A and B are shown apart, each in its own frame.
Chain A
Amino acid sequence: MKLFEFEAKNLASNLGITTPRGAVASSAEEARDIHKRLGGAVVVKAQVLVAGRGKAGGIKFASKPEETFDRAKEMLGSFIKGENVRKVLIEQKLPVKKELYVSIAEDRMNKCQTVLASRQGGIDIEEVARTHPEEIARRHMDPVYGIRGYEARDLALNLGYGGQQLNMICDLLTNLYRLSVIYDCELVESNPLVETQDGRFLAADLRMIIDDNSLFRHPEFQERSKEPGAELTPLEAKARENNLAFVELDGDIGIIGNGAGLVMATIDLVKYYGGQPANFCDVGGGAAADRVASALGIIQSSDKVRTVLVNILAGITRCDDVAKGILDVKKVVGLKKPLVVRMVGTNEEEGRRLLETAGIIPLIHMEDAARIAAKGA
């Protein structure tokens, strides 16, 4: 789950991480008032979860409150990379001496958190990694001992700081690491982390992504993680309520399957045969009738869906359960879209019999099912 910049900064401030003074606004009037309180020049930042908002017009400077009003007015309600802007963050403009980059990210290969630090901040770090890999210092964190003082000092020295500033950077790195641990973050990223003219350090931007698998031990995020909005479309939110793994896509062929890999492969196949999938929906390994029914119900409720493809390879799942789920939907609300079913495996004969009595002939091969669905059933 991604946090908005203002949410991440609130959590960071509580741990003693310095961020620019500012506040979040939902209206242009509020934005103007915040500027009046802050004084000086400010930056108006669209609160969106997509990365790269700066280039998309989501970060603007303003020297007078009226200007802030105008910028906020333009941003609020607009779309940045497809994401609706509902809030703007108004912050004091910093006297920047140097922009740095720091992140703490899940490192799959080394099976730990890895800290990256670079003097090339404020730009795309992947670009820096490509063109100047020597400009990025990295350290793998031991998951038991965490960041040790000498590791932080080594990173600080790599960033080019000594004396009093060495300790300041170390404290900041240590606190960012604590932030990552306390909230089970997949990613904590400050880009840029700013060194000011008078030699202080502030997290001018801050991104946090919480590990979804850790939400059970973070009651503070649980409600937030199920809300539709920036991260979830209404359909995705509804599916999540029903405990389905669901991602909405652009096409018109609804997809239901059991097992993430199989569903991804089904989507790839539909595309391979020239169709456009409308969603990814995994009913899970041991899917029972009610899960299949709720998946089908949600997908056929979408106006853009013209055909629904169900692909079940039953191992732990039972075909008769899947068939019952489909028939439940048929009985209660009716099947609203043409349905293509591929179903093999455990209790296949019984499942097949149930579907056939309802006039649905299940297919054996997923390639055939995908080809037929792609042609519009």
Chain B
Amino acid sequence: MPILVGKETRAIVQGITGNQGSFHARLMLEYGTKIVAGVTPGKGGTKLQDVPVYDTVATAKDETNADSSVIFVPAPYAKEAAMEAMDAALNPVVIITEGIPARDEMVIMRYAREHSTVIVGPNTPGVITPGQSKLGIMPGNVFRPGSVGLASRSGTLTYEIAASLTHAGIGQSTCLGIGGDPIVGLSFVDVLKMFREDSGTESLVLIGEIGGTAEEDAAKYIADTRYPKPVVAYVTGKAAPPGKRMGHAGAIITGSEGTADNKIRSLVAAGVRVAEIPSGIPELLVRKVQTVR
């Protein structure tokens, strides 16, 4: 049993006729994802590939029995797109869009709490359950089905590490990006809780970066609950100067908060093995799993 997405997932793509939306809708379909509808206001009644396009999310859902959404809508309109998906009771809602104002993200997350919706992102590569379905923009070919759960704050670094796992013969249960912005839906702790309940996940990889306290919070949760599955991690941004935003809106050291050193220290103290370099992850994982058994 994977988390968040699987074979049965029936997704719509909001912003399906845009550049990114149409390109990735095609790649998701090729991967085997059931993209049952698209939504672009004003383009209702048309088709993209064989996917019917609707003007509103509500009609798309009624006509196709969709259960989740991937959003490619440009930043200025993303807040309302997310609310529209939640009003139609789609869940999870994956927000790929980068550059959404933090204040809009706060409103999205408040709305999500009221609707009990899981938000993946914003500014995320999405979520993939290898061999079954992907809601996102990650290259499907670097992932393999298996039992390692992976959660990350970045995109390409996730592909890098997933590829090294695959190369080492270690497959993945579900991989997701929680998002590179300061305000995102799922925290590492939320993801740890989901993987804890997932019988298909035997061990976990967390890929953290500078900024905020998501990694420290995860470390505390792992220690406090004596987390039952082995966890290994990599944290990037060790060489980043304070006060500078390193590409992601959320990757910034503010005051003494958010340094890579602090995150690594917290994780190590909680019993998480932290790789010094990205390619160190597969070996740590193999060793960690053996020690636990």
Residues on A facing B (Cβ under 8 Å): 50, 106, 108-109, 111-113, 126, 142-144, 181, 184, 186, 211-214, 216-217, 245, 247, 249, 257-265, 267-272, 277, 280, 282, 285-286, 313-316, 345-346, 365-367
Q: Quick check: A259 and B154 within 8 Å, CB to CB?
A: yes
Instruction: Give the complex CA separation of A109 and B249 in angstroms.
Output: 15
Smallest CB-CB separation from A282: which chain B residue? B247
Instruction: Give the complex CA separation of A269 and B276 in angstroms.
Output: 9
- Given the interface contacts A106-B183, A261-B207, A285-B137, does A212 sit within 8 Å of B152 by beta carbon? no
Q: Quick check: A142 and B110 within 8 Å, CB to CB?
A: yes
Q: Quick check: A261 and B212 within 8 Å, CB to CB?
A: no
Q: List chain A residues, Cβ under 8 A from B244.
A: 247, 280
Known: A217-B76, A316-B139. 7 other contacts (CB 8 A): A261-B154, A261-B157, A261-B248, A262-B157, A269-B277, A280-B247, A313-B159
Instruction: Give the complex CA separation of A112 and B277 in angstroms.
Output: 34
Instruction: Give the complex CA separation of A285 and B126 in angstroms.
Output: 13
Residue-by-residue, is B228-243 near A (CB-CB < 8 Å gives 1, otherwise 0)?
0000001011111101
Smallest CB-CB separation from B238: which chain A residue? A268
Shortest distance from the beta carbon of A81 to any chain B beta carbon, whole Å: 10
Q: Quick check: A108 and B101 within 8 Å, CB to CB?
A: no
Q: List chain B residues, Cβ under 8 A from A260.
A: 154-155, 180, 209, 246-248, 251
Q: Quick check: B241 and A249 within 8 Å, CB to CB?
A: yes
- 30 examples of A-B residue contacts, CB within 8 angstroms: A50-B243, A106-B182, A109-B187, A109-B212, A109-B213, A111-B106, A111-B183, A126-B256, A143-B103, A144-B107, A184-B102, A211-B103, A245-B246, A257-B156, A259-B154, A260-B155, A261-B153, A261-B156, A261-B207, A261-B236, A261-B248, A262-B157, A264-B236, A264-B247, A267-B239, A268-B238, A315-B138, A315-B156, A316-B139, A367-B279
Q: List chain A residues, Cβ under 8 A from B155.
A: 259-262, 285, 315
Select which of A216, A261, A272 is within 8 A of B75 by beta carbon.
A216
Does B160 belong to the interface (CB within 8 Å)?
A: yes
Select which of A247, A269, A313 is within 8 A of B246 by beta carbon.
A247
Select which of B106, B139, B212 is within 8 A of A143 by beta carbon.
B106
Shortest distance from the beta carbon of A217 to any chain B beta carbon, whole Å: 7
Select which of A50, A106, A268 is within 8 A of B237 by beta carbon.
A268
Q: List chain B residues, Cβ under 8 A from A111.
A: 105-106, 109-110, 183
Q: Quick check: A113 and B100 within 8 Å, CB to CB?
A: no
Does B142 belong to the interface (CB within 8 Å)?
A: yes
- Given the interface contacts A212-B245, A268-B237, does A366 sit within 8 Å of B160 by beta carbon? yes
Question: Which of B102, B217, B240, B245 has the most chain A CB within a 10 Å cutoff?
Answer: B102
Q: Quick check: A144 and B110 within 8 Å, CB to CB?
A: yes
Smallest CB-CB separation from A187: which chain B residue? B254
Question: Which of B152, B160, B210 has the most chain A CB within a 10 Å cutoff?
Answer: B160
Q: List chain A residues, Cβ under 8 A from B251.
A: 260, 264
Residue-by-residue, is B122-151 near A (CB-CB < 8 Å gives 1, otherwise 0)?
000000000000000111001000000000
Smallest CB-CB separation from A344: which chain B residue? B163
- Which 10 A-B pairs have CB atoms at the shortest separation, nearest pair first? A261-B154, A260-B247, A259-B156, A261-B157, A315-B139, A214-B101, A143-B106, A262-B156, A245-B247, A111-B109
Shortest distance from the beta carbon of B121 to any chain A beta carbon, whole Å: 13
Instruction: Give the complex CA separation of A345 and B140 in angstroms.
Output: 11
Q: List chain B residues, Cβ under 8 A from A314.
A: 139
Q: List chain B residues, Cβ under 8 A from A366.
A: 160, 278-279
* B: interface residue count bin: 35 or more
Q: List chain B residues, Cβ under 8 A from A142.
A: 110
Instruction: Give the complex CA separation of A282 and B106 in angstroms.
Output: 26
Shortest distance from the beta carbon of A327 to any chain B beta carbon, whole Å: 22
Residue-by-residue, is B67-110 near A (CB-CB < 8 Å gives 1, otherwise 0)?
00000000110000000000000000000000111110111011
Does B250 belong to the interface (CB within 8 Å)?
A: yes
Q: Quick check: B156 and A264 within 8 Å, CB to CB?
A: no
Q: Quick check: B107 and A143 within 8 Å, CB to CB?
A: yes
Does B172 belong to the interface (CB within 8 Å)?
A: no
Instruction: Give the complex CA separation of A193 and B158 in angstroms.
Output: 45
Q: List chain A residues, Cβ under 8 A from B23.
A: 316
Q: List chain A residues, Cβ under 8 A from B237.
A: 264, 268
Q: List chain B residues, Cβ under 8 A from A346.
A: 139
Q: List chain B residues, Cβ under 8 A from A126.
A: 255-256
Q: List chain B residues, Cβ under 8 A from A270.
A: 239
Shortest distance from the beta carbon of B201 to any chain A beta carbon, whole Å: 22
Shortest distance from the beta carbon of B21 to any chain A beta carbon, whole Å: 13
- Given the interface contacts A264-B237, A285-B156, does A213 sit within 8 Å of B101 by beta carbon? yes
Q: List chain A residues, Cβ under 8 A from B160.
A: 262, 265, 313, 366
Q: List chain B residues, Cβ under 8 A from A261.
A: 152-158, 180, 207, 209, 236, 247-248
- Given the interface contacts A186-B102, A366-B278, does A265 sit within 8 Å of B75 by beta carbon? no
Instruction: Give the complex CA separation of A216 and B245 in angstroms.
Output: 18
Q: List chain B residues, Cβ under 8 A from A217.
A: 76, 101
Shortest distance from the beta carbon of B75 to any chain A beta carbon, whole Å: 7
Select which of A216, A259, A264, A269 is within 8 A of B76 by beta carbon.
A216
Smallest CB-CB separation from A312: which chain B residue? B156
